[in-house]
Amino acid sequence: MATVAFEAVSRTIGIMGMDRAARRRKLDGAGLFSLIFGMAVTLIVSGYQFGRGNHTVYLLDGLRELNPELFTRDWFVTQTLQYHAVFSLLTATCMRLHILEPVFLIGYLELVVLWHFAWRGIVHAIGGDDRTYILSVVLYYLSAAGISIGVFQFLQDACFLPSNVSNIAVLVGLYEWMRDRRLAAGIWFGIAGLFHVNFAAMVIGLWVVLVAWQRWVDGRTLRDRRLWIATVILFVPSLINLGMAVPDELRHGGTMPMGQFVNVYVRFRHAHHFDPIHWPIGLWLSFLWPIPFAIWAWMKSERTHERQEAARIFAIISGLLIAAFLFAGIWFINEPFVQLCLFRFSIYVKLLSCIGAACWISTRVGANVTAWLLMIVTLVAVIGLSIFVAEHNRLNGLVVNAAWDHRVALALFIAMIALASVDQSLANAGDLRRALQWLTTFSLPVLMAALWGRLGVGMTPEPEDPMYRQVCTWARNSTPVNAIFLTPPQETDFRLYGQRAIVVNFKHVPQLSGEILQWRTRLLDVLGLHDLHELPQDYTRTMAALGQIYDRRPAEALVSVARQYDAGFIVIDHPLDSPELALSFHVSGNPFFVYAIRHLTPQI
């Protein structure tokens, strides 16, 4: 189904950049095998999830559009910038039709398909072949599971997100630009700008620089009707998206002193995204190592239009990253420049550099050497990771536990590298290799479906807690629609599954400084702290500390905070003893208790 959809899109806007005969030549049995291989590796490493962790925040606006009575007293949903209008409309429509989960799953799979068609297309455009493509896939995922600096990925959080739609749309647009198909590139860039405000700013700037480069360096004329149509298609949705966000930035941004904004937003809440000085050295190495090989491969290659444009794209985005490192990583010039989140675009540099490194390797060694090289590189990566973890005691248990929890996917990933190695070793085997490729092409999708719930070795969200979901279900069915709950601050489920307002949680953080002040104040009040830096500065330990501090708070303190924010209910994982509280929910075997605050709880 995904392939059929891709072909439909291809016929509509020419994504493949070639006629049907050329497509048939390119996508033969070996080509189909390579694509299935790449998609399978992506699913094995990334997995898929719905409605957990960060994904919950993207569904709230759509939920409120569907039912305006919800969250009328929730400060986060009603008083902070919600800037994914198109995604929220899509979410609300799917909710109304009761097809949200299947549509999001299909959408996610379509993104995987589009990603790998574009990925393989770029490899072929710059002179590589399917061996190069497969090698680039292995190198990419051996480099920190495809996680780039800023902990950004093409399929962030392994779910259907507006940022992921934009991630893939930009990549397809870049591929079209390399193929000198400006109209198709403009359409895909416009889709990216429509779905995410950061991409709206990025694609406008990237388009202007690319067009100017071709005009002033190559002497390309601007009198091209398709260029101007593409420019309009790109600019209109992007400017509309920016136009909806800028007024809120002007009203609520810049109200926090810059030093305070950096301490709270950058160094405490989003250090993994915005604080490059404190990113792990392993993350930096996994990003930087292929770049010299890619540059060397480009320097030694014949200049073609596709290679020239790929190099320009690489240079432009690298320049953005250097600017981000200097002025939104070491020095922080202002709030909007930080919130442009330029580090998210490092995913394109990482992918292009891995493709370049694969080109460098594949042009210098034969298929048999590549087979051995795949296994050696994998062995070196495993040994290097083991040494790194052993020297960092804090990571030891975390990595070991994660590897054990995802042992099936990890074993599959290693098996896929072995499969690539065997395929390369059979380069001269003819019929035997073709038989293996066709067997793999048909069996891998079946294997992925059979093991669907056990895939994912990269970034994965917090596991589902069925006991807490039971509390959410009770709240949704048994409490007033305008009730406010005081919940454990490390939770992420209550707003989505309980469909009730809460005082605050750690994950659902606003973006603008005026809104961040409110979030910080609420979080400090709930925890009884004076400064957020009293908490650990590591994400895993922070989440654990949030729960521990909340659980230790006396009943009187929790009641006081609940009254301060007009919350009628308190959720906690142990009994509380206070004359001001009345037990509303507790069932045998469930550790959670819900207490109503006397004389405050609204009547049903």
In angstroms, the CA 547 to CA 551 distance is 6
**pLDDT range class, residue 307, cuts 50, 70, 90:** very high
Q: Which two tokens stand for residue 301?
A: 């290659």
pLDDT in tens, 41-58: 999 999 999 988 889 999
In angstroms, the CA 299 to CA 315 distance is 14
In angstroms, the CA 17 to CA 15 distance is 5
Q: How many CB atoms lie within 10 A of CB 544?
A: 13
Say yes or no to pLDDT of 510 above 80.
yes
**pLDDT range class, residue 600, cuts 50, 70, 90:** low
Structural element, H or E, at residue 485: strand 484-486
Q: Which two tokens stand for residue 372?
A: 């051995």
In angstroms, the CA 412 to CA 417 distance is 9
Q: 530: which residues sit within 8 A by CB, 6+ positions away?
A: 524
pLDDT in tens, 11-37: 444 443 444 434 434 567 888 999 999
Q: Where are the domains of the chain?
A: 466-597
pLDDT in tens, 352-391: 999 999 999 888 876 566 666 667 766 666 665 555 555 5
Q: Which two tokens stand for residue 444?
A: 């891998």
Q: 539: which residues sit within 8 A by CB, 6+ positions away?
A: 271, 272
pLDDT in tens, 246-297: 776 666 556 788 989 999 999 998 888 999 998 989 899 999 999 999 999 9
Q: 351: which residues sit within 8 A by CB, 6+ positions away?
A: 119, 140, 154, 171
Structural element, H or E, at residue 270: none
Q: pLDDT above 90 covers what percent of the chain?
A: 65
pTM recorded for the entire structure: 0.90
Q: What is the mean pLDDT of the chain?
A: 87
For residue 588, the number of C-alpha atoms closer than 13 Å in the C-beta half-sphere is: 0
Residue 415 pLDDT: 86
Q: Which CA distances in Å does 590 have to 35, 108, 148, 358, 474?
A: 46, 34, 39, 52, 12
For residue 151, give the amino acid letter. Answer: V
Coil, strand, or helix at residue 289? Answer: coil
